[in-house]
Structures are given as C-alpha cells and as structure tokens.
Structure 1
C-alpha cells in the first residue's frame, strides 16, 4: 500500500540469489538444492537505480544488484543457498521512484526492506519478491523482535506480513495470504501508470498507488513511510485515518475498481502486535475486518 515504493521483491530475490551464487558464503549449502534463482521488484511506484544488498540470519552480507526502470533485478542462483541463512533481509537504497500521485520522478531517500522467511516463501510468490512500503513495515516489525534465531524465525517473518496486512489491507492477507504482501507488484512507471490487472500483483500496485496519493497531502511518501516505520517498531498505534486514507486513495486510483481493490475491506490501523517465534501475534489492535481476499499466491 505504500506509495511509489513498490520496489518489487522480484528485485530482491533475484539479486540475493545471484550474490549467494557468486560469493559462495551461505551456510548449510546442501539443505536447499532446489533454488535456481529469483527476482526482486522494488516499488513505491517503480524504483529505478536503487542499490540492493542482503543480510542473512547468520549475518552474512552481500550485494544483491541494482534495479532497472521497472524496479527489478533478476538473479541467477546456483544450488548452495542454505536453510540456515533464512530469514534473509533485503535492503534497497537510493535511486528514484515513480510517484503515482502526480506521475513525477522523486528521489528515494528512505531505505526499503523486505524479509524473506525461507526458500519455500520464494516459491509461494512465484519467484518474485517485492520491496515496497508494506514489506518495509513488515521488516520493521520483524526487526523489532529480540535478536537471535529463537525469536527471528521464518514463522515470525510470515506473521509480520500478516500483521501489516491486518492494519492496512486485510483483504490482501485473508485466508492465509500473508505472503501476498511479499509478492512483487505490477510495475508502475511512466510507461505503465495505470494498467495494473485484477490479480494479486495488480491489487498490491493499486494499494501502493493509494499510499502515494495519501502521502502527497500528508508530508510526502518518504516522511509518511518513516513515521509508520517508527510506529510499527515501537508499538505505537497507527491511526485508523491513515489506513483508511490509503484505502480511499487506492479506491480512487484509475484502475481501482477494475483490480478488485474497491471490493476489499479497509484496514483500521491499530498497534502492530509482535509475532512469537511460532508465528502467532498477541492481542488484536485495530482490525480492518475480513473478507475480500486479495487472492492466494
């Protein structure tokens, strides 16, 4: 839902795999022989020229790649990325993004992250991982957990996506669809400002456009993202007006009705509950209702 930062996780996945293949520094290499590559897609609208890096669960760092005009990076991966390396955090910085609020190009001054729970998660989103405002907020929630493998588990990472969806876009994560927020969204840029499609990728792109349009009258995308990141990480409630404002703007974006977003319930904000190691969250915060699934990946 977050504005033009729809940085496709496609970019992250691809770049990360490539980095792993080149450096050969991941652990437990024999445990995940099926990985052959994946893509990253960075978006708020599409983020062009962002530098993406990764950090594994065992603190191995590496270069993932640089996004193209569609916010994407494709990485060829050879067998060897191990199960112990997950969850992996992708961080994309710099570059410029397409702002759907006025179809302008703006500097990307805030970092954008995505957390990949495990190898299976990559397969579940079709091999394309998104990096966008929603994945940034999910990563902020995940990163606020106590350090250590016992707390920052794959289940906790997946639950972080579900919790952000509950606050902002409950329809997108309904029926076990938490990882829908991690899927790469349809690229939105000068070449493709509105043709988004009635599927998960198109719906996510519409929410991100709604984020951009909401932010345009509330301090700008970078300021809104930074404020929400702080609220999520510190357990401060997200005002219902923010979640509802993003949904309202998503509904009014040119393809809102055709992508199926208008039929989905609005999130009502609230306090993001920290996941446990098993993936459950405590408390309820402000729920956004149920129904209107964004579809399964």
Structure 2
C-alpha cells in the first residue's frame, strides 16, 4: 500500500499591519535619530508630506545645500531650504469654505450621492465673498475635505488644496475646536428635551464615553435651548456626535457645524461657498 507523501509545512502567517500602525511606524525616528525628510518638512510647517515629496521630485528642496532625494532621512541639525518656485506654487493653493446641505457626502461619491465639491463653481460663489481671488477650474484640482460631515449633516465644510491646512484641522496632533448645534429627541420626547434628559447623561457626554474601544477626549456640551445641544470637540471620529448621543439615549434629528477654530459659518447660505480670506486663520 502506497503511503501518501507528507504535506509541506504551512507557510507562516503574515501579519497585516493596520494602516494607522504602519503610518506611526513610518513616522517614528530610526534608531540613529534620523527621520524622513518629508516628515521633518511637515513638522516644520513648510508643507504636507505629499507636497514635500512633490517638491523633492521637482528639485525644489535642498539639505545642507545639496539637492534632496526621495526617501532621504535627515538629522535635527540639518539645514533644509526650499526654492521660491515651491513657495509660489503653495501661494496659489486655495482653501474654500462651503455650507454643505443635506444629501451630499464630504469625500468621494458613494451610493449615488454626489460629493460636496461638485457644489463649487463660479455660479455658487457667495455674492458677499470679498476675497481678492477669481475662481478658476484649476482650483478644483486636489481640492479635498479637511474634516467630514456625514450625508445627513449640514454646515461648515472646509475644502483645501493646502496640506498645511489639512494637517492643522485633521492631523494626528490637531487641536482645533469644532462647534456644532445638535437637535435631539429623548425616547418619545421631542419637545422640552432638556427637562426630560437626566443630568448624568449630560455629564457622560462631556466626559466618560468611549467609541470603538477608545475613550473620547473631554468635550464641551451645553443646552442651547430646550431641544438643541451645543457641542465643542477637538477630535473627529466617524459619526462621533450621533454615536455619542445614542450611548446616552438621545437621537439626533439635526446636526449643523457652525465653527472650525476661529472660522465661522456665519451667514454663508446653504449650497454656497467662499474663499478663506487673506489673513483669516483657523
């Protein structure tokens, strides 16, 4: 009787590194204290990492007087200089403030819903925008949301070509406040929710909740009126406010972002946009 040949040993399991973990590993200094040039440039506030790689490819970056190379690592004392051409390209980048209405997604089109960037055109620019800029289709190239608003939420959405703005608003170390007005119901209670909602629930919204196994940072949460809460957050987890409210028995029936940092939605009409003005900072 023939004996079947032994089975070859199973290949070792390959561990898939989560994207966040891989990004953290790439960003960490090497044992010799060196870091990637693009990270150092981003940390210095010169540009985003993507911009840094583009500038390096174009020959616009020098390290200690020598042309930089893609993937190069630098020490803390290395001198990084950037050509004026890069600064000029950066100066032409725009940041747009859009009042997103219900029914539009923040990023890529999904489930048949259009991305908010499709609202940006010469015709939809707010008539009261006083920024000394003229709209051009090239400004739509690379224009991406810096912070999301889900399809059922409205209010201030920032779209930018500038990696420095994106890093400030949604980078790993971002501390910019985001302010929201949130209309809620408590079970069957739709009017005078404030009177029905227990004080301990409000305390938990401020601090003590966790999402996806991670505790949330402290938040400022106050009653704006009998049916509406005001949230001020410094982080932006996916559908964070709606999920926070669900954890304490509230249902969100309306959500509007009215501020990001020092920039207000103000009187900007739904579906219209304006430029971030010169001198205006988040």
Please state which band the TM-score falls in when normalised by the shorter chain: under 0.3
TM-score, normalization: structure 2? 0.24
More strand by share: 2
TM-score (normalizing by structure 1): 0.23
- Answer 1 or 2: which has greater helix percent: 1
Larger Rg: 2
